[in-house]
């Protein structure tokens, strides 16, 4: 029911910055907890960041906390992931996900999200 479309990925160099966007359909975006996950080659899809429906609370996996920032613009039905100081290990397909209810303490689990976008590829080169 909820459609999510990621954009903003691309081929970048170590140390570059990117801003990923996730556009959501519907009029109830402001009620959704949102998350970003990534899947590197040969790896499982892993939690990156999450944001509450209001945007007042944000959560990050420890490895990205100082470099990544999740934010949202509810008026535009969009969530963002600002990525700074890109590293080779950031190479992955980045997925946006929504939970059509408020986030709970399990925000880092894939199973807690109802809808997923198609992903946007981020490739970091040296």
Element (H, E) at 93: strand 92-99
Mean pLDDT computed over 58-83? 96
* Percentage with pLDDT > 70 across the chain: 100
Which pLDDT score is estimated for 113?
Answer: 95
Which pLDDT score is estimated for 39?
Answer: 98
CB burial readout 6-40, b (16+ within 10 A) else e: bebbeebeeeeebebbbbbeeeebeebbbbbbbee
Task: Give per-residue pLDDT as tens, 74-83.
Answer: 999 999 999 9
> In this structure, are residues 6 and 117 in contact, taking their beta carbons and an 8 Å threshold?
yes
* Percentage with pLDDT > 90 across the chain: 88
């Amino acid at each position: 029911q909820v459609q999510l479309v990621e954009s903003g990925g691309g081929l970048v160099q170590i140390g570059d910055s990117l801003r990923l966007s996730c556009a959501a359909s519907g009029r109830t975006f402001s009620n959704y907890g949102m998350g970003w996950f990534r899947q590197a080659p040969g790896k499982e899809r892993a939690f990156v960041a999450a944001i509450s429906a209001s945007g007042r609370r944000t959560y990050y996996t420890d490895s990205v906390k100082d470099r990544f920032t999740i934010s949202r613009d509810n008026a535009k039905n969009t969530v963002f992931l600002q990525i700074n100081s890109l590293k080779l290990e950031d190479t992955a397909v980045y997925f946006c996900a929504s939970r059509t209810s408020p986030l709970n303490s399990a925000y880092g689990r894939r199973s807690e999200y109802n809808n997923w976008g198609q992903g946007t590829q981020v490739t970091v080169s040296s």
